[in-house]
Amino acid sequence: MAGPEREMDALREAGPMALGSRLRRLSDRLMAGVHEIYKTSGVAFEPRWFPVFSYLAQYGPRSVGEVATALGWSHAAVSQTVRAMTTQGVLSSEKDDQDERRRVLTLSEEGHVTLASLLPVWTQVEAATRDLMAAAGPDFLTALDLVEDALAREDLAARARRLTLAQAMARVKISELDPAQPREAAAFEALNRAWRERHAQVTEEDEDLFAHPAAAAELGGAIWVARLPASMEVVGTVALMEREPGALALDYLVVAEDHRGEHIGRALAEAALRWAGRAGVTTITAACPTEAQVGLGLLRSLGFHVYRHGDATLELSLVLPQDSLPGRGS
């Protein structure tokens, strides 16, 4: 059947999007080959145990946490592997004499017997792996090291956020609203009035701010607008205002309907948070209608946490550490 070949081609044709899937497929094939070598050699050992087993064989007794750190695995992944190895009898797990909360892992007596059987088999596995890597060229492991190091510096999700924000910033120009510019003030009112009439209600505070946008600065905050560079059309807004001592409220975060999905809202919110950080503010609050799932998702992705559930509104807060603000220094 041509199924496996078709699958391989499909992943290759998917390009970078299928990188994780291709690495997983490669891992599965390598593990299957190693399993066959173990089986042929008559050694009862699972390929997935190798990292934990070889680490303990080389460095001696270690805690679960130490093994997880050394391997770059999660605590849960190490614990799951340890349970299987302990059941097989090649590993022992005992409470630390000095700290009962820690469990110390070490090769059991049977584990040392297994190790003696494994050493010549590992020589076979290494030789076969080197032969395989020769087909990929001499820099295969170096390239793999570089990818892992790059992910350690910035994971894939963080890279996506950074690139998305850069794209949004390229589409619009974000600046503080100039109350002396009637066009900006009118756009701020129009966008926010339409959103509030649809999702909440226009309050007396809203009307006051629409009539006097400079009030935001008087309340210890500011208003920002996102404009299209070519036409200078305002397509998004956000504001920070002091509504309680020691904290600023993130509000009036609205993007024009025909420009949603372009990540302009995130660009506006991050501009406001950077401004708050420079001003020495650490606590930011926000309120979001429960039905506004996109807005809620954005706030949560920025680090906001829900601290109060209302009938129709969620109240959120964010504490900004001064050394880890989004986009700090940019």
Residues 171 and 267 in one domain: yes
- Band (327; pLDDT cuts 50, 70, 90): very low
Residues 148 and 180 in one domain: no
What's the mean per-residue pLDDT of the chain? 88
Residues 136 and 219 in one domain: no
- Band (246; pLDDT cuts 50, 70, 90): confident
Q: Does some domain include residue 324? A: no
Question: Mind listing the pLDDT tens digit for each residue in 191-207?
Answer: 999 998 888 789 999 99
Q: Does some domain include residue 174? A: yes
Q: Does some domain include residue 325? A: no
For 138, counting Cβ atoms within 10 Å of its Cβ (0-12 exposed, 13-18 middle, 19+ buried), the class is: exposed
Cβ atoms of residues 298 and 269 within 8 Å: yes
Last residue of a domain, one of 110, 127, 153: 153
Q: Does some domain include residue 329? A: no
Residues 115 and 228 in one domain: no
Helix/strand/coil for 287 = strand
Q: Does some domain include residue 330? A: no
Q: Does some domain include residue 326? A: no
- Band (271; pLDDT cuts 50, 70, 90): very high
Question: Mind listing the pLDDT tens digit for each residue in 275-320?
Answer: 998 888 888 999 888 878 888 898 998 889 988 887 667 888 888 7
Count the Cβ atoms, other than its own, within 10 Å of residue 67: 22
Question: Mind listing the pLDDT tens digit for each residue in 90-106?
Answer: 999 888 777 777 889 99
Q: Residue 96: its pLDDT value, please?
A: 76
Residues 128 and 191 in one domain: no
Last residue of a domain, one of 138, 153, 168: 153
How are strands ordered across the β-sheet holding 91-95?
62-63, 103-107, 91-95
Residues 123 and 18 in one domain: yes
Assign residue 85 the CATH number of its domain: 1.10.10.10
Residue 66 has pLDDT above 90, yes or no: yes
DSSP 8-state code for residue 264: H
Q: Does some domain include residue 328? A: no
Question: Mind listing the pLDDT tens digit for each residue in 200-229?
Answer: 789 999 999 999 998 888 888 999 999 998
Average pLDDT over residues 7-22: 84
Residues 164 and 307 in one domain: yes
Residues 80 and 49 in one domain: yes
Give the H/E segment covering residue 244. Answer: strand 234-244
Residue 8 has pLDDT above 70, yes or no: no
How many domains would you assign to the chain? 2
Q: Does some domain include residue 110? A: yes
In angstroms, the Cα distances linking 85 to 17, 67, 68 are 35, 14, 15
Residues 86 and 134 in one domain: yes
**Domain boundaries, position 81:** 3-153
Residues 218 and 137 in one domain: no
Q: Residue 312: its pLDDT value, please?
A: 66
Last residue of a domain, one of 131, 153, 175: 153
Residues 197 and 128 in one domain: no
Assign residue 270 the CATH number of its domain: 3.40.630.30
Residues 129 and 169 in one domain: no
Phi, then psi, of 255 in degrees rounded to 5: -125, 140
